Structure 1
Amino acid sequence: MRNIMITIEYKGTNYCGWQIQNDRTSIQECIESAIYKITNEKANVTSSGRTDAGVHALGQVANFYTNSRIPVDKLPGAINSKLPDDISILDAKEVDYDFHARYSAKKKRYRYVILNSKYKRPIYNDFAYLVKYKLDIDKMIQESKYLIGEHDFKGFMSTGSSVKTTVRTIYDISLKKEEDLIILEVEGNGFLYNMVRIIAGTLVDIGRGRINLSLKDIIESKNRDNAGHTADSKGLFLKKVYY
């Protein structure tokens, strides 16, 4: 029995998210189906974390166990031949038997893309959150720095998630403007449900002048009502998982 770690890129637009659901197509279902077609084994593919409907991945990581003797360097091509065009296995490695894509992860990096344009841009329809209002990017950058460090991010979590603690550590955050695109990247040891999307929405509301509180005060309040809206899922990318 081998433990295989795979790195996956996918466009989440047409899926209900990572996790298998009875009535809608998921990323996990597609990958498990593809593995079955090439190995004749029902593999349980475990990811580093669930992504929601519409969320994309540049470097999702998952693992599964198999008795198949297909050489590991041949697995990506074999699995990809059974996958739809919007999901791709980029790499496969044989890892220690006790490696777990979720529990072995040390940190993750997410990217969030905002299209700050007066008009819609069809090329970005599935990959960026359209914000038509003028944004104060300098203020957004200045406020974003308060997120760095260990904090209780209770105010940046959507309801519907049960966690032991809402304390998380943000190691790095960057916000830059490239023509009409504002690109936010956040790296941390873990993220609460919708945390990155709420951070993005809060920064947008600060940039619009809809929120007058400092981000520092919002964090310290631990109150979801003080933070901004939850930004659209289509602007979110899981960029990299670190082990």
Structure 2
Amino acid sequence: MRYKITIEYNGSSFSGWQKQQHSANSIQETIENAIFNFSGEKVTLHCGGRTDAGVHALGQVAHFDMEREFELYRIRNAINYHLKSTPIVVLNTEIVDDAFHSRFSAKKKYYEYRIINRYAPAALEAGYVWQVFNPLDVNTMREAAKHLLGKHDLSSFRSKDCQATNPIRTIDDIEIIQNGSYIYIKISAISFLHNQVRIIVGTLVEFGKNRTNPQEMLNILTQCKRNAAGVTAPPFGLYLVKIDY
């Protein structure tokens, strides 16, 4: 039986989603252990979008196979019981067809990056937003972001450790919302390169700080070099919001 679960988590204290050989602090392994503790079955959890250390999720999706069949609410409640000492929660459980794959069946992924743009330090949101002290010109950021829409070679916007063989990606939408001192950058696409969203955010922030000509984004794209783009925004402002199937 194949089960699909939707997960919310605070990534601050984890090494990231993926299980690591020399780390027992991954989100994947933590949930796998919780499933084993209630079912006695060792499962492999496959996720829709791997998140790095410190990145949060509001709607991560994963699937796993179990031999035994349980009522869906019992699976959700049992996993959550064994996760109660961690900042991870299973929101929903579904039975899916064996052809379903949380990664390869995905149609679109939605990320949101949260910035607080003020001089006074963040109190309540510390560790959940990137604080940028310099005033940001959001209109310049929006104009620069328009050049990233569509299909491009995004070599300038991927980490040096990115293992993807093809740097071509299509960005469906970038929306930048300002609400007082808060800025939300929402990006959606079918797939992303490693650190792509965080590098885009870091680059847009540099446009906002310096009020650079937004057309300069085209030059960054065509150079296809990581050092052409801006800094990599810190992980703790990034949220995987949801995945469409």
1:95 Cα deviation after fit? 0.5
Q: Does residue 237 of structure 2 align to residue 235 of structure 1?
A: yes
Q: Aligned equivalents of 1:74 and 1:215: distance in 2?
A: 50
Amino acid of the structure 1 residue aligned with 2:23: D
CA contact (8 A) 1:112 1:183 kept: yes
Task: Name the residue aligned to 1:73.
Answer: 73
- Any conservation in 2 of the 1:15–1:24 contact (CA below 8 Å)? no
**Equivalent in the alignment of 2:223:** 221
Matched, 1:171 2:172: yes
2:59 is matched with which residue? Answer: 59
Contact 1:116 1:131 in 2 (8 A): yes
Counterpart for residue 16 of structure 2: 17
Secondary structure of 1:123 counterpart:
coil
When the two structures are aligned, how many residues end up with a matched partner? 242
| Residue equivalent to 2:144 | 143
Shift of 1:63: 0.3
Superposition deviation, residue 68 in structure 1? 2.2
User: Residues 66-105 of structure 1, C-alpha deviation per residue, up to 9 Å, x if partnerless?
Assistant: 0122112321111101103410001111111121111111
Q: Tell me the distance in 2 between the aligned counterparts of 1:121 and 1:161.
A: 32
Question: Aligned partners of 2:23 and 2:117: how far apart in 1?
Answer: 35
CA contact (8 A) 1:211 1:228 kept: no
Aligned to 2:131: 130
Please, what TM-score do these two structures have when normalized by structure 2? 0.95
TM-score by length of structure 1 reads 0.96
Unaligned runs of 5+ in 2: none
Distance 2:124 2:146 in 1: 31
Does structure 1 residue 156 correspond to structure 2 residue 182? Answer: no
Please give the alpha-carbon distance, in whole angstroms, between the structure 2 residues aligned to 1:4 and 1:177. Answer: 38
| 1:42 maps to amino acid | K
Where 2:140 maps in the other structure, the secondary structure is helix
CA distance in 2, matches of 1:148, 1:23: 37
Q: Cα deviation per residue 1:135-168 (whole Å; 9 max; x = unaligned)?
A: 1111111111111111111110001122121111
Output the CA distance in 2 between the equivalents of 1:154 and 1:30: 33
Residue 7 of structure 1 pairs with residue 9 of structure 2: no
Describe the SS at the equivalent of 2:127: coil
Retained in 2: the 8 A contact 1:201–1:230?
yes
How far did residue 208 of structure 1 move? 0.8
